[in-house]
Amino acid sequence: MTDWIFQGSGKSKRHDLAAALAQSPLRSWRTPRYRDRTAAGDPVWVQVVGRDAPGLYYLATILRPTYEDPEWQVDDSPYARWRTDIRVDYRIDPPLLRVELRAAAELSSFWPFRGFQGSTMPVPAVVATALRERAEPRLSPL
């Protein structure tokens, strides 16, 4: 089992993640990288990026391995067709903000917490354990 970070924007002109999750905890995430390594049951830390309070806001579960969706039409990119279905199980409240993650000795060297730009990233086991310890008392079921 591998923990993952999936990156997204919290609120933009085109998408409001919190509002979308209020409608359904099921999401299909664009997964152009590491698509051959995801597995059903893997945990996903959803990292919200942007200028306002970037950090880890949700904990989800992969429902099935990454697949190619030939009907997905976004940006005419061949990588946009690779999708991973997840179920967002918990809100992290308060979120694990980037400033907190960078201040923690066991997490500060993990480069995704220093301004990660990308959509998916595997999380080393030692980092995943530290995240679970910090997140456990903050998990609120959706």
Instruction: Reply yes or no on whether the pLDDT at 136 is more than 50.
Output: yes
Give the integer Cα–Cα distance in Å for 5 and 31: 11
pLDDT of residue 117: 64
Higher pLDDT, 44 or 13: 44
Does residue 17 contact residue 88 with C-beta atoms inside 8 Å? no
Neighbours of 3 (CB within 10 A): 19
For residue 132, CA distances in Å to 3, 44, 49 come to 10, 11, 20
pLDDT digits (tens, 9 = 90+) for 64-87: 999 988 776 666 566 668 899 999
Instruction: Reply yes or no on whether the pLDDT at 35 is more than 80.
Output: yes
pLDDT digits (tens, 9 = 90+) for 87-122: 999 999 999 999 999 999 999 888 888 766 667 899
Give the integer Cα–Cα distance in Å for 110 and 50: 18
